[in-house]
Structure 1
Amino acid sequence: MKFNILPSLFLIILLGISCMQNDPEVLPEILLESPESVSAVRVTIHSRLINDGTGGVVRRGLTISRQPNPDLQNTVQDDERFYGAYDSKIFDLQPNTKFYVRAFVQNKAGLAYSNEIVFETLPEADYSLLETGPGGGLIFIDMGNYDWGWRYMEALSFESLYYNTFWFDHQFIPLGTSNTIGSGEINSYLYNQKNRAINQLSSMHVLADFNQNGYKDWFLPSIDELKEIREKLYLNELVGFEGGTYWSSTEKDNMQGLLLDFSTGEVTSEYKAIGNKIIAVRLF
């Protein structure tokens, strides 16, 4: 007895293709958590991608407004990370003001928004140089106003926790960093946006995870910021900084980063995968 199985096999294949074509496309899901490190003009917000949905994420970020339910018509801050959890810093806000924030994420199926969070920035602060800041560090810069999106910068000795850290163990990836005062935070932000499962003892990765006095917005200072720390704090024997070299967040090139020798004031460079001391700083 002979059976002709080809028609039946063909029918099964057609049914399989039809089922695949009828599978619903799934929107991505993203979650916002409570704001942290709130100051007069900035905040850190943690977002977590729950589900990629269909086709993978093609865009992700935050949208901010003074009115409820912000969307892409309001202020948008894009993230370059399309997976996992991420801390986003929102800069240049107005003091003593209520803001509404939602995360957004887009894939092949469309655009989805997270839950909404509401926070209020603090009133303008009033600190003096060399006074202890809200994060527990000593204030070494006062710009006089908030026109730069921040006014004060505080520095904290980090040596008791991490004495010897890499700059970046993927040393051939240039970030396009700057050396000026106020650029250390942006340098570190560029690093953490482009970081992909880098060594956990990379200096800027360590600082991105650091929490002191409830503040999680610490970063590695630029080379000019390090010079200010040396002049205002180290030379006045404050905070307990030692002599020797400290990493800055400023690159020399794609292979080397810049360091400052606190003992001599000399700017040097070293391969990014070499360990050196670091200092934690934050703006507020």
Structure 2
Amino acid sequence: MKKQLLSSALLAITLFLTACSGDDSSPINDGGPDTYPNTSFEIGDTGPGGGIVFYLAADGHGYEVANTLGLAKWEDVDNLYDAIDISGLGTAIGTGAANTELIVNAIGNGNYAAKICADYEHGGKSDWFLPSKDELIAVYNHFRSHWDLNIEVNNHWSSSQGSNNTKSWNTDFSVNSATTPFNNWTFEIQKDQTLYVVPIRKF
């Protein structure tokens, strides 16, 4: 009888220790600011920050876009040729957040496109940014095919600087890219022009 009780006790201890040790070998998807399984969201869904999911990357990350916030200049300068030449600004998908940080650090306070996006808070999220050239094109492509975004059908700023310090890239949401040459709907324009601003975020 004592041997049976001892065996039962040892078995219970073994089971307890096994349960407590757990198995941490299962992969976790790091979705950047948020962590979600790859299958949590689809294009057109409402994202974790309350925007519309417009792009899903191969690495499991996604991007959501909010509403157009209004009109602003890329940089508010009295003389266009005094515009700051900001090095390191990318155009590819995945560069918009870093672009926005570089722009805000270079220009400082003010009511300009990148700062408006950096200050934006929505859906409990405060990591919104001004999209890069290619990120803005991805927003445009979704908008033109789904029509589910609350976006002004007009020109919007990207966070990508153009060929010199006086210009930056923008995209015209009113143009049909299927019938219009690329440089007539995505092109460089002077930074002191007043265009629409739309924030995005990565999750």
- Tell me the TM-score normalised to structure 1 length: 0.52
1:189, distance to aligned residue in structure 2 (A): 1.4
Alpha-carbon contact 1:40-1:122 (below 8 Å) kept: yes
Gaps of 5+ in 2: 1-28, 178-184
User: Residues 1-284 of structure 1 correspond to what in structure 2 (within 5 A)?
Assistant: 40-43=30-33, 122=35, 124=37, 126-146=40-60, 151-158=61-68, 162-170=69-77, 172-176=83-87, 177-197=89-109, 199=110, 201-252=111-162, 253-264=164-175, 265=177, 266-284=185-203
Query: 1:227-277: per-residue Cα shift (whole Å, max 9, x none)?
Result: 111111233211132322111111112011111111224112222122110
| Whole-Å separation in 2 of the counterparts to 1:205 and 1:140 | 22
Describe the SS at the equivalent of 1:165. strand
How many matched pairs?
160
Alpha-carbon contact 1:261-1:267 (below 8 Å) kept: yes
1:178, distance to aligned residue in structure 2 (A): 1.4
Alpha-carbon contact 1:140-1:155 (below 8 Å) kept: yes
Which of the two has greater helix per residue?
2
- Tell me the TM-score normalised to structure 2 length: 0.71
1:212, distance to aligned residue in structure 2 (A): 0.1
Mark the CA change 1:227 to 1:196 in structure 2 (over 3 Å): closer, same or farther.
closer
Describe the SS at the equivalent of 1:234. helix
Gaps of 5+ in 1: 1-38, 44-120
Seq. identity, %: 24
Alpha-carbon contact 1:227-1:260 (below 8 Å) kept: yes
Alpha-carbon contact 1:155-1:279 (below 8 Å) kept: yes
Alpha-carbon contact 2:74-2:113 (below 8 Å) kept: yes
